[in-house]
A and B are shown apart, each in its own frame.
Chain A
Amino acid sequence: MATSGDNVKEPIVATPEAAKAFEEAALKALEKFGAVRSEKNPWGLTVVVDRCNLHATVLAMRDELGLDMLMDIVGIDYLGFKDYVGPRFAVEYVFKSVYEPAKRMMVKVLVEEADLKVPTISDLYGIANWQEREVYDQYGVIFEGHPDLRRILNHVEFVGHPLRKDYPAHRRQWLSTNDYLYPALEKRLESKGYRILERPEEINPSEEEYLQGSIKK
């Protein structure tokens, strides 16, 4: 059986030349936001931006550079890091392009412990919602403008942020009861057009209990 050669596409490979060209283009495009290349990453492109320029930088990367996939948001705690001078915390965003493998880069924001706030990018990338919740849960970084910033991995009665270097790794915290999910479930059902006709007697939603451990007020 003959196959038509028109439908077979050449596999797109990330060549070193394409990667280098992308890096130059990205640095040129992000220059106006004060993005500086970090010399600590010899294997790829990491730029450090100020947190007030973060939202504009990410928007430019998504729309102009074509980085349409946010792979991860990582929190970093530099407490006790060897030969390090600078703010204690950092949040790093890992981006790549789905169709062009040469396009991949990272953005880093340095934040002081006293003012641990970073603007959210969950309005640009949907996945950033849960990833920012994870960074908040594990490091205590507050993402300003996040629609629902509460713990995602640890339970609601957890005190502290376990991936900080000053959290004792073996300090265990018991949970007294399982998570109370009825208010969230009812809210979700109501948003989809359902109506709560009756609920069992033992269910008495209390917003305060449910939001314990959350900063949402």
Chain B
Amino acid sequence: MAVEAQEANFFTTKLDFIVNWGRKNSLWPFPYGTACCAIEFMSTETSPYDLSRIGSEYVRFTPRQSDVLAVQGTITYKQAPILKRIYEQLAEPKWVIAMGACATSGGVYDCYCTVPGIDNIIPVDVYIGGCPSRPEAFFDAMFEIQKKVSDESYMAQRKERLKEQWELLQAKTAQAKQELSEYSRAKAQELKEKAECLKNTAIRKAEFWKENP
């Protein structure tokens, strides 16, 4: 993987293809079910609809093992920090589906307690309408995410990520250098003052003993 991807060549395009093929056929959903859309998601998993046809049969109930956060249902203000935390715990790469009217826009709950759409909290890739959404709509969203995945470039992402990390590292190094120079300057000043003070004391002592032998 130590290849610098300056421009697309045979190796990088084939690697992108393989990585994307692997990713898009094993999208493991994390169901954040708070309302009736979660029931529709359950029927999406059963054999009449069979989500495992596109490789998503593993529903992981921990954010650390899943790729797709499927938010199914109403999100209240009391729950918003929890959803945000779970999104932050998802490992990269991650995608988000807002399923149903409530997750998309708050739905009929236009009041003091409901978040008007989860895109106030976290970025969303695909929105599905419906109250609740049909299992076919969930399939459609998964196909959209598959399309999105197959357009991505692993090498380009890696390049961006490395660039980001390099910039961060540079910024941190510069900051550390700055701090060090400030600290050393302050220390030098302090030492200089101390030396001056000692010198003055010595001179005063010498004068004293000269006057009072």
Interface of A toward B, CB cutoff 8 Å: 153-155, 162, 167, 169-179
Contact = CB atoms under 8 A, between A and B. Distances in A.
Given A155-B78, A173-B77, A167 B112 contact: yes
Contacts of B112: 162, 167, 169-173
A178 B82 contact: yes
Contact of B77 (A167, A170, A172, A177): A172
9 contacts: A154-B78, A154-B113, A155-B78, A170-B112, A172-B115, A172-B116, A175-B78, A175-B81, A178-B82
Contacts of B111: 169-170
Interface string B95-129: 00000000000000011110110000000000000
Contact of B113 (A162, A176, A179): A162
Contacts of A171: 112
Contact of A155 (B77, B85, B110, B115): B77
Given A155-B78, A179-B78, 10 more contacts: A153-B78, A154-B78, A154-B113, A169-B112, A170-B112, A172-B77, A172-B115, A172-B116, A174-B77, A178-B85
B80 interface: yes
List 5 A-B pairs, minimum CB-CB distance, nearest first.
A178-B81, A155-B78, A162-B112, A178-B82, A175-B77
Interface in B55-102: 77-78, 80-82, 85
B113 A177 contact: no
A154 B77 CA distance: 8
Nearest to B111: A169
Nearest to B110: A170
Interface of B: 77-78, 80-82, 85, 110-113, 115-116
A167 B85 CA distance: 30
A179 to B, nearest CB: 7
Nearest to B116: A172
A169 to B, nearest CB: 6
A214 B111 CA distance: 23
A169 B112 CA distance: 6
Contacts of B77: 155, 172-175
A210 to B, nearest CB: 15
A176 B80 CA distance: 9
Contacts of A170: 110-112
Contacts of A173: 77, 112
B119 to A, nearest CB: 15
B81 to A, nearest CB: 4
A174 B113 contact: no
B117 to A, nearest CB: 12
Contacts of B78: 153-155, 175, 179
A118 to B, nearest CB: 24
A107 to B, nearest CB: 29
A34 to B, nearest CB: 38
B74 to A, nearest CB: 14
A166 B191 CA distance: 67
Contacts of B115: 172
A179 B85 CA distance: 13
B80 A174 contact: yes
A49 B116 CA distance: 42
Nearest to A156: B78
A216 B77 CA distance: 23
Nearest to A162: B112
A154 B80 CA distance: 12
A108 to B, nearest CB: 26
Nearest to A167: B112
